[in-house]
Amino acid sequence: MQYVECLRVFVRVVELGSITSGGRDLRLTPAVASKRIKELENRLGVRLFNRTTRSITPTEVGGVFYEQAKTVLASLDEAEAVVANFSETPRGALRITAPLGIGRRIIAPLVPEFTERYPEVQVQMRLSDRLVDMVGERLDVAFFLGVPRDSNLKLRHICDCPGVLCAAPGYLERHGTPTSPEDLLGGKHNCLLLRYPRSPEYFWQLRTESGLRRLEVAGRFDADDGDVLTSWALDGHGIANRPRLEVAQHLRSGALVEVLPQTPPLPATFGCLFPHRKLQDPKIRLFVDYMAEAVKAAVGDLQGG
C-alpha cells in the first residue's frame, strides 16, 4: 500500500507543481511527501524530477512514468469501485467542492449527518467561488448555483433558485429606486458584480413581459466572492443580483429591499456535477442522492418555504 501512496504522491506533485502542494492535497506533510518521492525514485532507480530552488518539473522519464502511473491508479480506483459495489459499507475519501456562500450555509451543515450514516467515509470539502477543474483537481462532486458549463460531466439537477435584485434602503434613498431595467444602465446605479477568471456574469439577465432582457450593467467595484457582494449591498454601496436563498433573511428583516420585482433575474440552477465513470463508486452515488433530498429541504427553509 505504501507503493500505491508513492504513486499517488508522485502524480499529484506533477499535477500541482510542488511537493508541498501535492502532499497537502493528500493530507501529508511536505516531509512525508518528499520521502515518498525519494522512495519511488530509489525503487525505480531513476530521477523523476528536476529540482531547483524555485521549481520542480518531471524529467523525461518522469513524464513518461506519470502517464503510466495515472493509468495504474485509475484502474485501481475502478477495481476498488467494483469491490465497493459488493459491500454494504461505503468507505474512503470523498472530495467535494461548493461555492463559498452555499457551501457554508447549506452543504457544510448537511455533511455530518451523511458521515454519521456512513462512518467509514471521509468527506474532504473545498469551498471556492472560482470555476474548478474537476478532473485536474480530482474532485468527486462539485455543487454549483448558476449555469453549468462542462458537458463532459454528469449533472444532477436539485432545484431552481429564484434570483433577486436588492439594495439597502439607504442606498435607494440616496440614488433613487429603479422603476425599469433601463434605470440600471448608463451609470445611474452602482451594480455589484460577481467576477472571477472565466466568469460568465459580466451582465444580468432579467425576465420581462416581452421576454428575456440582457443588460450590460456596470459598477465601480466587483468581487469573486458572492458574500462580499451581499456585504457591500448591506452597507449601502450598490445593487446586487443574488440568489434569493442567499439574502432571504436580509429581505425579511428589511436590511435589503427587493428592486424591480416585476422583472426579476433568471432563476439559478442548484445542482451538482460528477465525473462519468463506467462503474460509479457507491459513496458518490449515495452522497449525491442524500444531498439532492436534503438540499431541497434546506433551500426551502432558507427561502421561507
116 - beta bridge partners? Answer: none
Three-state secondary structure call for residue 56: strand
pLDDT at res. 1 = 64
pLDDT at res. 240 = 96
Enumerate helices (H) and strands (E) in the chain, giving the number of each.
10, 14
Q: Confirm if 182 and 138 have CB atoms less than 8 A apart.
A: no
Question: Each residue's pLDDT tens digit in the chain (305 positions)?
Answer: 688 888 889 998 998 888 988 888 888 888 999 999 999 999 999 999 998 877 899 999 999 999 998 888 878 877 776 666 556 678 888 999 998 888 998 999 999 999 999 999 999 999 887 777 787 778 899 998 887 765 678 899 999 999 999 999 999 999 999 999 999 998 889 999 987 655 555 789 999 988 999 999 999 988 888 889 999 999 999 999 999 988 999 999 999 999 999 999 999 899 999 887 655 678 898 999 999 999 988 887 777 64
Q: Confirm if 101 and 244 have CB atoms less than 8 A apart.
A: no
Question: What does R_g of the chain's alpha carbons equal in angstroms?
Answer: 23
Distances (CA, A) of 300 to 34, 229, 246, 285: 48, 22, 12, 23
pLDDT at res. 280 = 67
pLDDT at res. 200 = 52
pLDDT at res. 201 = 55
pLDDT at res. 157 = 92
pLDDT at res. 17 = 87
